[in-house]
Amino acid sequence: MIIFETERLYTREMDHSDYQRLADILQDPEVMHAYEHAFNDEEVLSWLHNQLDRYKQDGHGLWALILKETSDMIGQCGLTYQHFQGESVLEIGYLLRQDCWHQGYAIEAAQAAKRYAFLQLGCKEVYSIIRDSNIASMNVAIKNGMKVRGRDIRHYYGVDMPHFGFSIRKDEFLGEKNSATP
């Protein structure tokens, strides 16, 4: 079932048959640079199970991002709850296979995820929480109309990683929509 679609892409829930396609992404050290290490098989499976649990509990999670032209899974994009400055916030996340970078797919998917968050889920604010060294991801968030709202430290694999919380609020989103209409 399609969750949301754009001109070139659509998202759907992942299942166990996506394990290898997911491993190809999460086991690439370049893709996982911001997470400090590429995942082993167990971590890929646990990541997949996390998303399956989120689909059941929350009705959303990181979905498979599919290129319409080839029906290939080129990455993940979706909406998950994350902790930021002591609160639970809804986050747009995106991770793409390396051979698919720099073709505008992340921003195309992130903009559609933002529309889904505001128009389907009715949320008031949506975030992207990004490690302070991840320029590519920050550029996607900025292009998605988000502003920096604060900073937080996340602890992954024994490392303290400063993150910026980018977000866009519903009134700003509605302003974007109105200014796009002549």
Residue numbers of the site for ligand COA (CB under 6 A)? 31, 34, 94-96, 101-107, 130, 134-137, 139-140, 143
Between residues 156 and 171, which has the closer beta carbon with respect to ligand COA?
A: 156
- In terms of Cα–Cα distance, which of 164, 110, 95 is closest to 133? 164
In sequence order, which residues have a C-beta less than 8 Å from that of residue 33 and are 6 or more positions away? 134
Which of 28/172 has CB closer to ligand COA? 28
Instruction: Quote the least distance from Cβ 157 to ligand COA, whole Å.
Output: 15
Measured from the CB of residue 128, what is the shortest distance to ligand COA in angstroms? Answer: 6
Cα separation, 101 vs 24, whole angstroms: 15
Q: How far is the CB of 135 from ligand COA (least distance, A)?
A: 5
Distance between CA atoms of residues 5 and 24, nearest Å: 23
Whose CB is nearest to ligand COA? 106
> Between residues 123 and 129, which has the closer beta carbon with respect to ligand COA?
129
Give yes or no for a contact between 22 and 42, defined as CB atoms under 8 angstroms apart: no
